[in-house]
Amino acid sequence: MQSGQIRLNKVTKEWVIYAPSRRKRPQDFQQKSHNKQTSGILSRDCPFCPGNEHKAERIFLEMPSRHHKGWQTRVVLNKFPALTPDEDRERSKEGIYLMMPGYGQHEVIIESPDHHQDLATMPIEDVETVIETYHKRYVTLMQAHKNMMAIIFRNHGMKAGASLSHPHSQMIVTGMVPQNIRVREQEAQRYYDQWQRCVYCDILEFEQHHRRRVIAENESFLAFIPFAADVPFETWIMPKEHEADFGSISAIEKSHFALILKNVLTRLYDKLSDPDYNYVINTAARYKAEEPQIHWYCQISPRLTTPAGFELGSGISINPSLPEIDADFLNS
């Protein structure tokens, strides 16, 4: 496998990951029609389906099914990883530029043995198993001192970057903290220094009482479309208790998170005819897990629009739909 690199953009201070091994995927750089049913690989050839275990690079974890013998979720090494654990984190210079080896770990969370299942449609107990799997791998990987950040994310549909239709999520661990996460941390720190309050707790409190943009709620979580949503139907799922780190959630919170996540995804599935989307669990970086100004949350971003020249040039999103109207539609 060709070694990867991570290079720092001197202008933006953002790291760029170079993963040459991912070019081995036959679908890379090809333009394809958007069709969830025919995209990716047929179930008989799918590396995530039962019976094809020999195609898995390495199995890290299996969670048993509550319905039948065998596994319900399985965590495997990504066959085409963005980062690899056999690299180190030592930084070096090339002239005026800074770079380091492509250290990290890239895992795939297979969410079901059923090739045609999905989080929006599977039984709630299976969604709970997915969340439990997230948590187990997150806690395990963040025990390593050199792992600075763990990103849990899901790409659903070709517009969202999914190359296989079999239901799965991913987790990437990095040896550095990305710039956009540092900026989010710094802004939260400024807010806390000024008001002695967590900005996310203030957002949560306002949305919970205002309720104009609330989509769903249970004992532990609130789901709402943010006041300044970047894209139509963007939804945040936020714990009501202040928690900086996803790894610190309790057993009951994991159950409640599964309930509200399925609730929101089912609404998107029913109301928007199963749109492509990405979701990511935004959580604290290492050494920030106990900070009073950071609050973890799940961010769901449907892929209903395409950023164009102005958005790319300015960094300003153009959202054609008001969050309040989107909330009304999902609640109707």
Residue list for the binding site for Zn(2+): 46, 49, 115, 166
Active site residues: 168
SS3 (DSSP) at 231: coil
Residue for token digits 């899901």?
154
Enumerate residues 6+ apart whose C-beta is below 8 A from 108.
48, 75, 76, 77, 78, 168, 169, 170
CA angle 300, 304, 310 (to 5 degrees): 100
Report how far apart, in Å, the C-alpha atoms of 120 and of each of 165, 219, 249 are.
14, 21, 22
SS3 (DSSP) at 224: strand
SS3 (DSSP) at 188: helix
Are 297 and 323 in contact, with CB atoms under 8 Å apart?
Answer: no
| Residue 24 identity | K
SS3 (DSSP) at 179: helix
Alpha-carbon torsion angle 160, 166, 169, 171, nearest 10? -100
What's the DSSP call for residue 301?
Answer: E
- Binding residues are 46, 49, 115, 166
Distance from C-alpha of 265 to C-alpha of 216, rounded to nearest angstrom: 11
Residue for token digits 């333009």?
31
